[in-house]
Amino acid sequence: MRRRGFTLVELLIVVAIIGILIALILKAQMGSIRLAEEKATISLIAKLEQAMTERMDALVNYQADPTFAHYRFGAIFNSGSPLDPVTGLRKPIEGIQRAQVIAQYDYLRAQLPDGFVPWQTPAATAGVYPFNFGGLPFLGSDTDYRSYMLPMGAYYSAPGITPPAGMTEVIPCTGMFGASFEAAAGIYKQLGYHPQGYDGSDNNNDGAIDDAFEGLNPLSAADRTAVIARFNNHKHKTARSEMLYAILVEGSGPFGSMFSRDDFTDREVMDTDGDGLMEFVDAWGEPLQFYRWPIMFHSDSQRGFPTILQIQSTPTGASPGPYVSAYETREQNPLDPNQSLLAPAWWGTFNDSHPYGSPDVPNGISGAARQFMNHFVTLVDPLAEQASAASPLTYWDRSATKAYGYYLRRAYYSRFLIQSGGEDKTPGTAQLNTTYPTTGPLAWQQLAGVQNMVHVENQGGRIAPNRVGSYFMVPTPGTNGTSAQLEEFGQDDITSQTFQGIGGQLQ
């Protein structure tokens, strides 16, 4: 009997079945690949998180010594107090505990910088520092490197500076432009500096420690050219990962490093922008992002900035905020457990004659509080700052009405954040110098510079960073397109606070 051949229809059915089987096999393989990428990234972040937790615990347990500037910063200067004949200022109400808190912030910022921006092209010139690690001028001119000396108050001890009346202590300079010399050393060593440029010493006694002159002058002309070429290759999106690597692998000083380069594979550590600075990268080849105080990041660990869904679901006429009601437990700042930075007498306009800044009388905030926000983290709630509703009981402050006076203030709990953008390669946090697609009424502004890094990006918020309002570090709230897209981009992020991945939350 002769076997009947397949008809065209039967052949098409067979081909379709084979195609479906191949598609299922490919889908399963792709799923396995994605799962392997997730696991590899989670493993790397978990490894870094453990090391950073140990480093953070060591830093927090160290009690920084307040300087003359910290004590003055933490004091209350009221216009009704008598004048001090020595200083010419109003006699202060001392705030020793608050001075200690400010000193601790100053110390942690220096020892644990979380990013940097290019500042000056490297040149064998005294007082030139190529990178700014998030330091803003405390006193003096913003073009004078001495204004960026650390800790606060070291400026008074700089050559050519007359200290204020009543100050007798000499404050050694331990850092510059937002980073301690030992923290910055991990960057400048990789950039190609001569060891004199990252040894923490003033080798030529000109008052500028570890400046570009010390780092480049001993080098050959060819080596100097190579340093400048690497500097010019730098891309901003790599800075946070490069800083994390510098701290944990290239660390020097009393805390040293937590790892050696051999502890990581070539797929975990790369130099993706060719600037000579190594980065921790995820399984998709993108640099991880590191935040020291991501106060606006929203997760199960911290409230941060409310999600768009939470804002939209707030009843009509109510004030959206991070809390549901006046009875909900408020977060506490672990660096300021006694809320000394939010004490009304210092935070508010009773402190109206502070030498570090003029108060904002209409909003009831002292110049000292504004200066603190300029250098470290915000002390106000961005939604409260721009609210018009009459009852802001969902804010950190439980004031019954805005007119009560202190509704703006807020204490933030935050934990450091290590973040991967996931499969879409785009972190769900606002990144400077990045162009996002926009669909809402507010277009993305490509911000740059150290001030925007400190006041916007360092917060780690899923918010369009078009700063508005009266204060630093107050991003635009609302439901604009960029904020919605950042939340969407963040759906597949894998972070040290959530370990969320493509398949949802991972345990």
Confidence of residue 504 (pLDDT cuts 50, 70, 90): very low
3-state DSSP call for residue 215? helix
pLDDT(473) > 50: no
**Alpha-carbon span 251 to 260, nearest angstrom:** 10
pLDDT at 455: 82
For the stretch 319-331, what's the b/e string if a residue is b when 16 or more beta carbons lie within 10 angstroms of its beta carbon? bbbbbeeeeeebb
* 494: phi then psi, degrees, rounded to nearest 5: -115, 120
3-state DSSP call for residue 362? coil
**Alpha-carbon span 176 to 393, nearest angstrom:** 41
User: How far out from the chain centre does Cα 440 lie?
Assistant: 26
Confidence of residue 113 (pLDDT cuts 50, 70, 90): very high
Kindly give, in sequence order, each residue whose CB lies less than 8 Å from that of residue 366, ignoring residues fewer than 6 positions away. 346, 347, 348, 349, 350, 351, 352, 354, 357, 359
Confidence of residue 456 (pLDDT cuts 50, 70, 90): confident
- Cα distances (angstroms) measured from residue 466 to each of 152, 310, 426: 29, 20, 19
**Alpha-carbon span 419 to 424, nearest angstrom:** 13
Query: Are 230 and 275 in contact, with CB atoms under 8 Å apart?
Result: yes
pLDDT at 5: 62
Confidence of residue 506 (pLDDT cuts 50, 70, 90): very low
Q: What is the pLDDT of residues 249-298, one digit of tens each?
A: 998 877 778 899 999 999 999 999 999 999 999 999 999 999 999 999 99
Tell me the average pLDDT across 445-458: 74
User: 304 or 387: which carries more pLDDT confidence?
Assistant: 304
Which of 111-115, 117-121, 165-169 bottoms out in mean pLDDT, i.e. has the lowest? 165-169
How confident is the prediction for the chain on average, in pLDDT? Answer: 86
- Cα distances (angstroms) measured from residue 154 to each of 207, 252, 454: 12, 22, 21
Kindly give, in sequence order, each residue whose CB lies less than 8 Å from that of residue 38, ignoring residues fewer than 6 positions away. 283, 494, 501, 502, 503, 506
Q: What is the pLDDT of residues 200-238, one digit of tens each?
A: 999 999 999 999 999 999 999 999 999 999 999 999 999
Helix axis angle, 367-375 to 96-111, nearest 10°: 20
pLDDT at 471: 53
For residue 318, what is the DSSP state?
S
pLDDT at 30: 61
User: 8 or 80: which carries more pLDDT confidence?
Assistant: 80
Percent pLDDT > 70 in the chain is 86
Question: H/E element holding 218?
Answer: none
Helix axis angle, 181-191 to 96-111, nearest 10°: 10
Tell me the average pLDDT across 384-398: 75
pLDDT at 326: 84
Instruction: Find which of 175-184, 308-317, 428-437 is predicted with most confidence, using mean pLDDT.
Output: 175-184
3-state DSSP call for residue 376? coil
User: 489 or 506: which carries more pLDDT confidence?
Assistant: 489
**Alpha-carbon span 188 to 286, nearest angstrom:** 22
pLDDT(190) > 50: yes
Look at strands 131-132 and 269-270 and give their pairing. Answer: unpaired
Q: What is the pLDDT of residues 77-108, one digit of tens each?
A: 999 999 988 888 899 999 999 999 999 999 99
pLDDT at 210: 96
Task: Name the E strands within 60-207.
Answer: 117-118, 131-132, 149-150, 175-176, 179-180
3-state DSSP call for residue 83? strand
